Amino acid sequence: MDTNVGNTFIMEAEQQLINAIELYELGYFDCAYYSLRSAIDLSTTMVFLCDLPDNDRGKYLKDWKNIEDFPLRGTMIAKLKKANNLFCDMYDKMPNFFNRAHVLSSRLNKFVHKQGLVQFYVSRNHPIYGNKSDINFIEDFESDLKECIAVVAVMRLAIDPFPVLLMDEEILYRCFDSLTEPYSENFVSEYIGKDIIEEYKTTDIYRGTYKSFENEEKKNQTVFDIMKHQYINTTKRDDIFAQLHLLPYTI
């Protein structure tokens, strides 16, 4: 898979999260949970098709494109763990994240498969036996939504470490002008968790990419602003000419 296809998977997962919110607001709570699970499945499929060994990737990608037999999420993760590639390394070094993801997946399946009368519309809306207060039901959905956002955001990191790399100014000011935007501190704190990001920083994909940039010359603020924001501060001519060699010919 090329980058464009990978980005398409991420955008589709994002759309499923949006759909989940809209469906829940309309009252279709089981459909909302189906969309949440779909977002997780999409992000897993993306990693599966990217991280398989070359001799397996072609077959599974062909099956996926032709809508033929294709493994479910649990089978995909089992195969990725055996492949001993980037995902396997993440799985070993990020136990807290994958434990959370497993618990979340099990919880979503309760809604999707309607396990328990509480998942039935006819029970929830029954004039006598129905749930009189849905405040906990709403809070649970909001919590599950945040967890799904976290899963999609972290699974993306299996093929693209730059959302976390660029949070570090030591890399940001040494990197090329990436189209990728870094995750914000607030986003990490509210959705992913700083402990999960610290675990991710021990993975091979993060450490290897970090090392590939750490010896590059660090841009000063003026040159960085030109490269990243096309903002030229003419009062800082000395700073610009000192690192003119770091700027592309066209901005």
Q: Tell me: the pLDDT tens digits for 19-59?
A: 999 999 998 989 999 999 999 999 999 999 888 888 888 88
As a whole number, the mean pLDDT across the chain is 89
pLDDT band at 5, cuts 50/70/90? confident
Q: What is the pLDDT of residue 17?
A: 98
- The string of pLDDT tens digits covering residues 181-190 is 999 999 999 9
The CA distances from residue 8 to 1, 5, 84, in Å, are 11, 5, 25
pLDDT tens digit sequence for 209-239: 999 999 999 999 999 999 888 889 999 999 9
pTM above 0.85, yes or no: yes
Tokens of 74: 């649990």
Is residue 121 scored above 80 in pLDDT?
Answer: no
Q: Domain coordinates of the chain in residue numbers?
A: 3-160, 219-251
Asked whether the predicted pLDDT for residue 69 surpasses 70, the reply is yes
CB-CB contact of 91 with 157 (8 Å): no
- Give pLDDT, residue 117: 73
Pair 83, 52: CB distance under 8 Å: yes
